[in-house]
Copies of this chain bind each other. A is one copy, B any other.
Amino acid sequence: MITTANIKNGVNVDQLVDTIGHIQEQPELAKFEFRAKNNWIDGGHCASSIKSFYGAGQEDTTRQETFTLECSHPNVLLGEDEAPTPPEVVLHALASCLTGAMVYHAAANGIDIQGAESTVKGTADLHGFLGLDPEVRTGFDGVTVSLKVKSDATAEQLENLAKFSPVFDIITNPTPVKIEIIK
């Protein structure tokens, strides 16, 4: 007998169901720790390496590649424009995460997604970052996402699935960040 994996939207639904079953049996398997190491290059130019993480009850041993990402700033923000700015990188992470969350949860619910593309915009006022007005925040005052989806599901259904996105949660809700400076 030939068995084929149950794949929907590129997601292995059998593996997803198995994952949920394992976590329901052993809740500690749900604990994950993600990490990045960052090195300052010069000015507003930095590079991160991303590889190790903890999850499913152990240190990961499957990831072979170390991913390298950079951030920099365009000339108008006093940089040499070698890479996107950190806030732009956050927009990339948000768009990817909303889309991925929608796709995974659609797969789990038997909903087909035939295509998805999005444009994300975030607005900010430099009075905050420059310390010129303490009433103005340093980050985005707002973000808008236009997510175009080919699917038979309703827009409301798709939005609710996308909102399982961890990065959506991280941006829309307060997340505690503890900073330890080591001299």
Binding site for B on A (CB under 8 A): 9-12, 15-16, 19-20, 23-24, 27, 29-46, 48, 50, 53, 55-56, 60, 62-65, 67, 69-71, 73-78, 81, 83-101, 103-105, 113, 115-132, 137-151, 155-156, 158-159, 162-183
Contact = CB atoms under 8 A, between A and B. Distances in A.
Given A74-B60, A179-B163, A181-B158, A91 B35 contact: yes
B127 A48 contact: no
Copies in the complex: 2
Q: Which of A29, A43, A73, A144 has the most CB of B within 10 A?
A: A43
A90 B93 contact: yes
Q: Chain A interface secondary structure, helix, strand, loop or mixed? A: mixed
A104 B155 contact: no
A183 B171 contact: no
A76 B14 CA distance: 13
A125 B53 contact: no
A15 B80 CA distance: 13
A45 to B, nearest CB: 7
B142 A99 contact: no
Nearest to A81: B63
A15 B182 CA distance: 30
B44 A62 contact: no
Contacts of A169: 128, 137-139
A179 B56 contact: no
B164 A131 contact: yes
B167 A86 contact: yes
Contacts of A86: 93-94, 96-97, 100, 165-167
